[in-house]
Amino acid sequence: MQFDRKALSDEELLRFYLAILRPRMIEEKMLVLLRQGRISKWFSGIGQEAISVGAALALQPDEWVMPLHRNLGIFTTRGMPLHKLFMQWQGQKEGYSKGRERSFHFGSGEHHICGMISHLGPQLSIADGVALAHKLRREDKVSLSFTGDGGTSEGDFHEALNVAAVWDLPVIFIIENNGYGLSTPVAEQYRCETLVQRAKGYGMEGVCIDGNNLLTVYDTIKGVREYCIREQKPYLIECMTFRMRGHEEASGTKYVPPELFVQWAEKDPVKKFEEWLLLEGILTYSHMEQVKASLKAEIESELTRAELGGPIVPVTTEELEDVYAPVPEAGTDKDIETVHKFSSSRTIRFIDAIQDGLKAGMEAHSNLVLMGQDIADYGGAFKITEGFVELFGKERVRNTPLCESAILGAALGLSLEGFKSMVEMQFADFVSVGLNQIVNNLAKIHYRWGQHADVVVRLPTGAGVGAGPFHSQSNEAWFVHTPGLKIVYPSTPEDAKGLLLASLADPNPVLFFEHKALYRSISGEVPEAYYTVPIGKARIVQEGSDLSIITYGAAVHWAKEYAEQHPELSIDIVDLRSLLPLDYDAIRASVMRTGKVIVLHEDTLTGGIGGEISAWIGEHCFELLDAPVLRCASLDTPVPFNLELEKNFLAKARLATTVDRLLRY
């Protein structure tokens, strides 16, 4: 192994030696703790330290890194306190995730490290979002994301590299090719000679290097960083290496031919760098022993300090409160009640109200970026963003490739750098290909390590327009089960604008469902000024005493139509407006008024939110009921294309019979 020091001084080389030795010695201690049962799990990076350490040394400390399991050198080189890292690995409250996450599934905004999730691919597109933030601010910075050879087979790898190339983003992608994806050798993962060959297919440059040579890694990334900033383009680096332990300690290494360990032991990145420093006279044996003794003492001292922390005492209120980031006060001059007193209004369609809200949000938040397929010059599939490019420019109104997962990840990356983003799904049905980013990354990140995800996802949803099974689904229930998300579903133009503005102001991930059938069929008075409608607060459409219909979205209008057709009945109608969180006070109040309840929704019956609401009423309002809670929902089938079949499918077709059943009690 040849080392080229170039212009590095002896002092810098000794600093590099300390940087690469530190994670090795910490890991050796962690393996002892694992055998002693003092930690529960460990993903070893022994044999791969040069990549993490070289990358951290080559970047500026305020440039974001998206590491994976085997990148301890990023954490140590960034100067994270060792005792706090020990607390993290031992699951203590004083760690970086308050005991809520394991090993390296955590991040630190202070150190510009974004914690990973177990689904490896999503890290890559977060780096896209951070790089986009730098590009928008005209900053000379890059972002850097790691992946393994196994991760390059995931769709997120393709999506992230393609977006980075199309948008000319200053992002560095590093592949740590250690020969195995858990136990699967690379021969069973891909057929190209090297993974870096894929770079050309995306229109970017790439290089394959010796990932065990610290100076090669450092010099390469340092030069690539300068290239990315100068050219405003991404770059792919494949680092050839080997892990000397199992995927994680419990998995063992029986699947690896023994001769590979012998071969790669001769390329040990710490040992070879140390030997070179000794040979060049930069490091002496006595100094080497002093450094190791000092590090060993530091590790023991920091471990002792970490173990002073007591056991976690769960506090349920704290656990629940930490699921969401705090929401700033909207301000009394911006809420709907005040606006109605002092602002003029106009009658507009539901779709126009959404456009108004989006426009007002762009004016109120200069850091808001819109992203979606065809939303720029074309104006989106439903023309909601038509004219926005002329008003706000293409930097803030961005067409995206067809890659929902990468764009949602980029939205999170923008949030890391203080931006807001709105991602438009062309149809709510298409959100399934971005499900992982929403339910595992956006939703959980604040609870995991205190990082908010300031992202709104707009979802044109619902049937009634003859669009068939892949453009008509009501899929809000997919997400209501996920803590950390907020789910909004307006039914009127006034609420559409106010709830959208509230969603854009909220630092938490909000899924904003817009019923397509309402776009051009419903009109109403909407204030022209900026205002917000509070998320989690239901609207009482009308009060009644005979029965309650608790509903949302297009079904609100079905309920109103039924009530108008049956004036002999006194019907109480509650428009939930938000499905997560739910307004349980409004639900209970409606039950008190009538004692008989129908939960009406367009979604299919099984697994719909009606089951959750019915269960809550049965558990908390049983003494107020005069009859069982009935659900009125759509058929448990896909949404049919034929209009007559679709009418039969929809819950509206069964509302009258459901009311009759309820009134017979």
Phi, psi of 360 (to 5 degrees): -65, -35
Contact 610, 633 (CB under 8 A): yes
3-state secondary structure of 174: strand
**DSSP letters spanning 186-254:** GGGT--SS-GGGHHHHTT-EEEEEETT-HHHHHHHHHHHHHHHHHHT--EEEEEE---SS-SSGGG-ST
- Taking the C-alpha atoms of residue 18 and residue 40, their distance in angstroms, rounded to an integer, is 28
- In Å, what is the CA distance from 315 to each residue of 42, 93, 297, 319, 325? 27, 11, 35, 6, 17
Contact 597, 566 (CB under 8 A): no
- In Å, what is the CA distance from 318 to each residue of 262, 315, 325, 487? 51, 5, 12, 22
Place of tokens 């700033």: 328
H or E element at residue 512: strand 510-515
Counting Cβ atoms within 10 Å, is residue 374 exposed (0-12), middle (13-18) or buried (19+)?
A: middle
297: its two tokens: 């003492």
Closest CA to 174 of 47, 25, 27, 70: 70
Q: Greatest CA separation found in the chain?
A: 98
Catalytic residue among 69, 158, 452, 471: 471
Q: Is 446 a catalytic residue?
A: no
Closest CA to 430 of 373, 357, 496: 373
Contact 174, 235 (CB under 8 A): no
Phi, psi of 241 (to 5 degrees): -155, -165
Contact 595, 566 (CB under 8 A): no
Contact 381, 426 (CB under 8 A): yes
Any idea what DSSP says for residue 326? Answer: P
**DSSP letters spanning 60-128:** -TTS-EE--TT-HHHHHHTT--HHHHHHHHTT-TTSTTTTSS-TT---BTTTTBPPP-SSSTHHHHHHH
- Taking the C-alpha atoms of residue 509 and residue 216, their distance in angstroms, rounded to an integer, is 41
H or E element at residue 575: strand 571-575
H or E element at residue 358: helix 350-364
- Taking the C-alpha atoms of residue 505 and residue 483, their distance in angstroms, rounded to an integer, is 19
H or E element at residue 597: strand 597-604
Cis, bond preceding 581 (omega within 30 deg of 0): yes
Which residues does the annotation mark as catalytic? Answer: 471
